[in-house]
Amino acid sequence: GQVSPKPFLWLEMKKTLFSIAAVLLGFLAHSQEAESLDRFAEVSVITRLDANPAYNSADSEFGFDLGNTSIYTLFEGSLSEHFSWTVANHWFHAESDGEYGWPYKYLGHSDSTNWLDYFKLDLGLGNWSLTLGKDMIATGGFEYEDWDWDIYPVFSSPLANSMSCYQWGGTLSYTTLSGMSNFSAQMTTSPFGEHPFSNGLWAYSAKWRGEYGAFSNIWSASALETAKGEYMYIFWLGQQVCLDSWIATLDLSNAYGSDEGFTSSALHGGTAALTVKYAPSDRFNASLRGSCVLSGDKETVPDHWTVGGIAEFYPLKESDDLRLHALLSYNSLLSQVTFSVGARYNLRLKVF
């Protein structure tokens, strides 16, 4: 059976929440002087439906699943230029084994995803910002830029598919005066620990995000504590070039991962992913994607590659709330061809 979180966990979480509340009171008092245009709050209900027929050439069998079919909510807002928040919940996923939906069996775990993705507060002062709460680990390149409800799991790296990337902690960031570079340092609970705070395992990350005209980069380095005093080091180099209607993105990483679970023995290796997107308008884009995964443990999982294409269409004028999408992919590890069609709709409810 499951191990219940220790009382120490709840005590530490209470201390953390009280500390956050104390900081917020100061910022809330200061935010009263902010202009009304800095104040907003919005709740979004995001639903996605996918239909994924697939063919496995290894055993000549057809299959079907619901892909990334899911239901999310997003609550975000701001009381001033100095204070904002983001809360994202994952209520349902058609292909999950119980992480989402009652009774939320992984609630209180840091080694698995659960119904709470984001619960963060952003405090800004000048070029500096401090983020506290549950946030994404600052590792990864451009692959981690999309919301979960917008991604295509068949093209995700094994690391992204297996790592519990939402963790509790804090991030300190600095943006240069030009606004072209952002540097951040982060400390969070480790995805290798069963329960946050009580296990005493931590993750440390540094990230450099740059935008220099047509060129952009997201580089990161992370040290994830797997056991007391033992770390796994992950480096990620993300590069992007934008030329008119064309966007090319290359992500390189020394990490592998495993769809069977996030374990230290299966993470050695490397990944390379290339995306070339053509977006002639805000309402339509098409992209070709390819990735190569090199395994450091070929007895567990061999090297493999994925290739395919995606088309997206936004039928509503001047809005991205409704997206229609289709994809075709081939995965050499599974010897599987997947065709997917689906839709994602964002229902926005303005609070103030």
Q: How far apart are CA 43 and CA 349, in angstroms?
A: 5
Q: At 6, is the secondary structure helix, strand, or coil? A: coil
- For residue 302, cis peptide bond before it (omega within 30 degrees of 0): no
User: What does the angle CA 144 – CA 131 – CA 12 come to, to the nearest 5 degrees?
Assistant: 110
Rounded to an integer, what distance in angstroms lies between the CA atom of residue 120 and that of residue 233?
Answer: 25
DSSP state of 5: P
Measured CA to CA, the distance from residue 223 to residue 190 in angstroms comes to 9
Give the model's pLDDT for residue 110.
78
Sequence-separated (6 or more) residues with CB below 8 Å from residue 35 = none
Q: Name the phi and psi angles at 143, rounded to 5.
A: -60, -35
- The first and second tokens of residue 143, run together, are 């692959």
CA atoms within 13 A on the CB side of 40: 10
pLDDT per residue as tens, the chain (352 positions): 444 444 444 454 455 455 555 545 554 555 454 445 579 999 999 999 999 999 998 888 999 999 999 999 999 999 999 999 999 999 888 876 655 655 566 777 777 778 889 999 999 999 999 999 999 999 889 999 999 999 999 999 988 888 889 999 999 999 999 999 999 999 999 988 887 777 889 999 999 999 999 999 999 999 999 889 999 899 999 999 999 999 999 999 998 764 444 554 446 789 999 999 999 999 999 999 999 999 877 777 789 999 999 999 999 999 999 999 999 999 999 999 999 999 999 999 999 9
H-type helices in the chain, by residue range?
7-31, 158-162
Distance from C-alpha of 72 to C-alpha of 89, rounded to nearest angstrom? 6
Q: State the pLDDT at residue 208.
A: 98
CA 226 distance to own-chain centroid:
21
Query: From CA 38, how far away is CA 179, in angstroms rounded?
Result: 20
The first and second tokens of residue 47, run together, are: 């639903």
Are the beta carbons of 351 and 73 closer than 8 angstroms?
A: no
For 17, what's the count of Cα atoms within 13 Å in the CB-facing half-sphere? 7
Distance (Å, whole) CA 316 – CA 34: 33
Backbone angles phi, psi at 300, to 5 degrees: -85, -55
156/262 Cα distance (integer angstroms): 15
- What is the reported pTM? 0.85
Q: What is the pLDDT of residue 87?
A: 97
